[in-house]
Amino acid sequence: MRRKVPECDRCILYAHNPHLICTVHPEGVSGDACLDFEHDPTAAPEELWEPEGASYYNSELIVTPKQQWSRLEQLALLDSHPMFTGRCPKCETGIALKIPTVHWDCGLCGWKDDSV
């Protein structure tokens, strides 16, 4: 039995015709793959479905860990953490922004970053 395979839509030989599959195999191929497949650079990219709580990065599905903080707590962190403000949330002393920094501790008042 000849048929269209999933790669047909992205092949440069695809006819985009309901009566023909491609110029080389008008009725389709008999196997699960086509030896004449040639990727069409103008074809629409394959849509990657993302389940809730996950995202694709470089075509790999990455599950996002469950949130530790509520939305309100996240906003408070953005408003007060030295990583975003450049100053100590306790004494307002400037803290040098050296990225990447694991610990954001204040040498003046002793405030310690315990958010990690």
66-104 per-position pLDDT tens digit: 767 788 988 888 888 888 888 898 999 888 766 656 677
The pLDDT score that the predictor gives to residue 115 is 61
- Do 17 and 47 reside in the same domain of the chain? yes
SS3 label, residue 88: coil
Number of domains in the chain: 2
- Of the ranges 6-10, 62-66, 86-90, which one carries the lowest mean pLDDT score? 62-66
Contacts of 47 (CB under 8 A, 6+ apart): none
Q: Is the pLDDT of residue 46 over 60?
A: yes
- Of the ranges 9-13, 54-58, 109-113, which one carries the lowest mean pLDDT score? 54-58
- 87 lies in which domain range? 69-116
- Do 62 and 86 reside in the same domain of the chain? no
